Structure 1
Amino acid sequence: MVHVEPVSAYPPPSSRTLEQWLDPGLGTTHQPELRTRLREIADARAALAAMWAAFLSLGVSAILFAGVLLAVTGRAASTVPWIAVGVVLAAVSALFLSRVRRWVPRPRTSLSVRGPGNLRGGLWAAGGILFLLNVFLVIGALTTGRVLVMVLVDLGMVLLLTSAFVVPSAILGRSRLTLRRQTQKDPRLAATLERERLSWRPDGRTAMFGPL
């Protein structure tokens, strides 16, 4: 008995060139929710980049906040270690973030992301938390008179919320645009995606190679 593979209702990867699959006009003709291999790659890359960008922003925030505390209090013993930790965290995160640019995940690789998926959502989330926090901070400042403490806590929360919500959500919201632009600028990434186009086969989760 001869086993016959079912014929896919979707066009094969070879039906278009990589440039055609990446064309934004082609993407608009398909639903944004349609799962394709290129979108799978873009989303996984963005999720990993968002994580390292958040750590990078957190390291820079630690440096900035410790610098402000040093200027205000003059206590180098309690702030210099935070600056050193921030420098190390930022440097390591920048190194791994740079490696994401040429990373192409294997088929069925899925990185789960919880939180806002675009810049607007990140700004709303961070703004809402900051607003609620400031309600309590203002009440505390009025009752205790510690305005400087309120300002420092507020600054720290702004930096923290930016790192946790705004930065990663901005990267996630531009996942497909980023992959398209990086492919156009990086021949090595374009060559990797071209090899992927020639070797990829549909599976149970993803039926089409493109569009992006």
Structure 2
Amino acid sequence: MDDRLGRLSYSSLPERPLEYWLSPDLARLSPPEARSRLRELADTQGTLTAAWGAGIGAGAVLMLTGVFITVMGGGVGPLAALGIIGAGLLVFGILGCRRVRSKLPSTRRTLITRGPGSARGGISMVAFFAIVFGALFGYGAFNSGARGGSTAAALIGAYVLIVLFLVACILVPSTIMGRSRETFRRKAENDPRFRALLEQDLLTWRDPVGNATYGPL
């Protein structure tokens, strides 16, 4: 009886330790599109963190927009309204990021993203829109020169805020998603509590749809 229990316990142990699956060398040998449990966890966590990160950036831009409107003579109403909304987004975004990064995400549902998934793609998209809006606002600011400098300043300020909003909603999340696997690896290496969650997951996880391995990352 004891021998049978011993064989059962031994067979339930993972074939490879977590350190093996977290190895950067192993990740470089595997195609980036190859499935693994670690990659699903990292990509899902990165997508959720990117969404909260976009909220943080958008909240900060809304607060700046309120300040800009007030400075341009719009009164304190926009400052109060946009300031409250922006501060709320910023605080909830920070709390959301901390919560997402403190636990293993659920991978039962596939998260679909429409934007770029890397910093390079985010920079390209932001640059494209910045050029388009820059041409439109530049033309408006040039034609408004005869009507006074305040109109030109308003257009330039609005353009800067739009670019900042694009950075917050496109570049920030795309950068987070592009670095999600490296960030996940650092978290596993430097956070003992998070690593313990991974060790437990390694013991209990089995691929429900195929024969994907636990790693690489």
Q: TM-score, normalised by structure 2?
A: 0.87
Unaligned stretches of 5+ in structure 1? 1-11
Instruction: Indicate the larger mover: 149-158 or 72-81.
Output: 72-81
Equivalent position of 1:92 in the other structure = 92
Matches within 5 A, 1:132-143: 132-143=132-143
Q: Is the 8 A contact 1:40 1:110 kept in 2?
A: no
Deviation for aligned residue 1:198: 0.6
- Larger RCO: Structure 1 or Structure 2 (Cα < 8 Å, ≥ 6 residues apart)? 1
Deviation for aligned residue 1:14: 1.7
Equivalent position of 1:129 in the other structure = 129
Q: Is the 8 A contact 1:36 1:206 kept in 2?
A: no
Is it true that 1:36 corresponds to 2:41 in the alignment? no
Q: Secondary structure at the match of 1:209?
A: coil
Equivalent position of 2:180 in the other structure = 175
Would the alpha carbon gap of residues 169 and 121 (structure 1) be closer, same or farther in structure 2, given more than 3 Å must change? same
Q: Which amino acid aligns with 1:51?
A: A
Q: Is the 8 A contact 2:63 2:79 kept in 1?
A: no
The structure in which a higher percent of residues are helix is 2
Q: Is the 8 A contact 2:72 2:154 kept in 1?
A: no
Deviation for aligned residue 1:203: 2.9
Q: Which amino acid aligns with 2:113?
A: V
Equivalent position of 2:5 in the other structure = none
Would the alpha carbon gap of residues 142 and 204 (structure 1) be closer, same or farther in structure 2, given more than 3 Å must change? same
Q: How many percent identity over aligned positions?
A: 34
Deviation for aligned residue 1:15: 2.2
Would the alpha carbon gap of residues 206 and 106 (structure 1) be closer, same or farther in structure 2, given more than 3 Å must change? farther
CA offsets 1:16-62 (integer angstroms, 9 cap, x no match): 21111111011111111101000000000000000000011111111
Alignment RMSD, CA only?
1.8
Equivalent position of 1:162 in the other structure = 167
Deviation for aligned residue 1:72: 3.6
Would the alpha carbon gap of residues 154 and 204 (structure 1) be closer, same or farther in structure 2, given more than 3 Å must change? same
Question: Alignment length, in residue pairs?
Answer: 201
